Structure 1
């Protein structure tokens, strides 16, 4: 501390205008984590641990310990030629800190209970839908790969997304999903071309709304789809800079397979597979969604305010009144 009696001058800070510079600095670095690319991270409900998953392993971390983790799932065989599936995504249960789910490229979703075994090599439950041999094709194994899994907010249901469908599973019933939604079934005739362009390996995410009554997922041509679970109605919307303007209302779109088309319909042959919505997110309580389309992030909200629900519009078979609030 300076002696006040000896202070003879006063220096006042001067504000100098500069260009805004945003930097991200890591607070902690968790080292020696994985040998392969990390595909998912999930915070546990105990707020003390989290998991990180790559193609073959899932590690459990303590948020305060950065130099070591505990391996809870390991699919790596002794001989890599015996490898039959890889991990695609993993997530903790929203309420029970001992439960986690992870999905694989073989179309299976495993629910693991860390109370029964420290190494979760044997799942407590296995959610897998068998493929009808009459409908099996060369692409069946690829299209059945689960690209995303999300627990419902209530914790009772699992939402999984594969290439063509979205499925809702009840944790109490393993043999088959309770709901199946055809997201882009119109692509079945295009699978050969999609395979040659590697688009068939795209990984689409999915999301629940705050009340678990509506699910959302992305598709090609910058389309994203919403399904109301009660009425089973659905709507297709487009997120692109060409059609989205600030405060503008989104109009429903429809992909047409045949020759008969309505005004807002688009032919499946006209879809742009370079434009795709892989990442979607829904606000945990309000009707606000975030859509990532290539290098653009769109924010949409229900124009009627938080008191109205998206499901209401779907039940009444009216155009979904979502408006773009993105600042370009």
Structure 2
């Protein structure tokens, strides 16, 4: 990443060739997609061995990686593995469960959707998987564990030891559970005293075998351990686990609450931006995330394009920030759409916590937490849509909330776009930009974009503008744009160059 000697063309990361790996839930030609099946959240766990998706129907689907098992890999092997090693990741469907149901708030006469807004993995324990999922109002803590199913495989008397014409119970291979008479008759009570009494051997020894239960089968069971409810007046847009493994935050438009995983009936309000008079409201919280290593630090973004870094050690109510990250507005460029397109829809910390990646409607921005004068790099994603902002406002596309992600080594970033496209950028100068379509045969366009200082931000130190602007009315592949298909959700594997992307109800996997 920038600041590690990779800011020149000589130090640019190796160009990656992205390849299609898998697809789950692929649509047939002309098939109509149900609203409840559209994927609304994606998240890898810390090891990358498990992947979770949530949909608008309130369901959580879990996938498990299988190729590491085939190669004898375990968690420690994955953590020690060289990041540059490319392998073909293979996932399989593991299980699914209904996380949320539609509700109705009778006090506010408000319908609460079951749609999953966010999923976050928690620390595993004793082979069980733990995760948090949330809709607009309620957060749930789930435990998914394999349970051995005990099945009785032998509940029959010994036929060889039975004497006379007394009733004996049929063997387990029989399709009937009724006791059969040796002469062809049946007795309605297979466990009657007479059946035992007449099953004595010639030596007078009871030959009834005791039932035997085997644990040959396993079944995945999802259990809701805790429900964290009634703490948000507005829609929850973010949840984030703390590195201490004990607490997490949840954020809505105006407040951020701190929870203990073990306590579901109490939370602490640590950020409150609600003004005394709602007419004075100028911005809302759009995303929040804990620092990956410092349990006292967290960042949240706003609709005005700013990111605030706060330290919970300063005060119980973090109404003041320790650092503010925002880009200075270029004089003479303000328009009706300025504040709308400046709204940050997602932020992500780099794995080491040194950088923050933010996504607004037009760009990706990379921020150094040690430099609050401006972003260290800006990646143009939707610059070619600037002439169409009026149309985008009319059809509400300008309010679409695209997510972003960083590679585990911090060298690359990715985000989605329209026509089910997603774009991957290198963070250093001289790196290339890759645009792909979420399909089995992704279209690619490699664009060499040498880094150059930005004229508008030329006074800021170490600032790069990456990604050439395309002012045409078509997408980066020369095709007419389709605003009805958009890739909002994607996730980068924590240790490998592998991406999971959601296009409508389909989950596409790519590797490089």
TM-score bracket, normalised by the shorter chain, equals: 0.7 to 0.9
- Normalised by the length of structure 1, the TM-score is 0.80
What is the DSSP-based 3-state SS (H/G/I as helix, E as strand, rest coil) of the residue aligned with 1:67? strand
1:292 and 2:489 are equivalent in the alignment: no
Q: Deviations over 1:260-283 (max 9, x none)?
A: x99x9324xx10001111111001
* Aligned counterpart for 1:233 among listed residues 432, 446, 453: 432
Aligned positions of 1:130-141 closer than 5 A: 130-141=328-339
CA distance in 2, matches of 1:140, 1:232: 29
CA distance in 2, matches of 1:6, 1:213: 74
Q: CA offset at residue 251 of structure 1?
A: 3.1
Q: CA offset at residue 6 of structure 1?
A: 8.3
Q: CA offset at residue 32 of structure 1?
A: 2.1
Q: CA offset at residue 36 of structure 1?
A: 1.4
Q: Deviations over 1:11-34 (max 9, x none)?
A: 46799xxxxx98754221112221
Q: CA offset at residue 107 of structure 1?
A: 0.8
1:252 and 2:445 are equivalent in the alignment: yes
- Normalised by the length of structure 2, the TM-score is 0.52
Q: Bigger relative contact order, structure 1 or 2, given CA contacts below 8 A and separation 6+?
A: 2
1:56 and 2:254 are equivalent in the alignment: yes
Match of 1:273 in 2: 483
What are structure 1's unaligned runs of at least 5 residues?
Answer: 16-20, 303-328
Size of the aligned set, in residue pairs, is 284
What is the DSSP-based 3-state SS (H/G/I as helix, E as strand, rest coil) of the residue aligned with 2:398? helix
CA distance in 1, matches of 2:220, 2:298: 35
Aligned positions of 1:304-319 closer than 5 A: none
Q: CA offset at residue 190 of structure 1?
A: 0.8
Q: Is the 8 A contact 1:88 1:104 kept in 2?
A: yes
What are structure 2's unaligned runs of at least 5 residues?
Answer: 1-204, 448-468
* Aligned counterpart for 1:109 among listed residues 282, 303, 307: 307
* Higher normalized strand content (fraction of residues): 2
What is the DSSP-based 3-state SS (H/G/I as helix, E as strand, rest coil) of the residue aligned with 1:141? helix
What is the DSSP-based 3-state SS (H/G/I as helix, E as strand, rest coil) of the residue aligned with 2:266? coil
Q: CA offset at residue 132 of structure 1?
A: 1.3
Q: Deviations over 1:301-327 (max 9, x none)?
A: 12xxxxxxxxxxxxxxxxxxxxxxxxx
Q: Measured at CA, do residues 26 and 253 of structure 1 come closer, stay the same or move farther in structure 2, by a change above 3 Å?
A: farther
Q: CA RMSD in A?
A: 2.6
CA distance in 2, matches of 1:165, 1:175: 18
Q: Deviations over 1:101-147 (max 9, x none)?
A: 00010111000011112111110000011211311111000000001
Q: Specify the structure having the higher radius of gyration (Cα).
A: 2
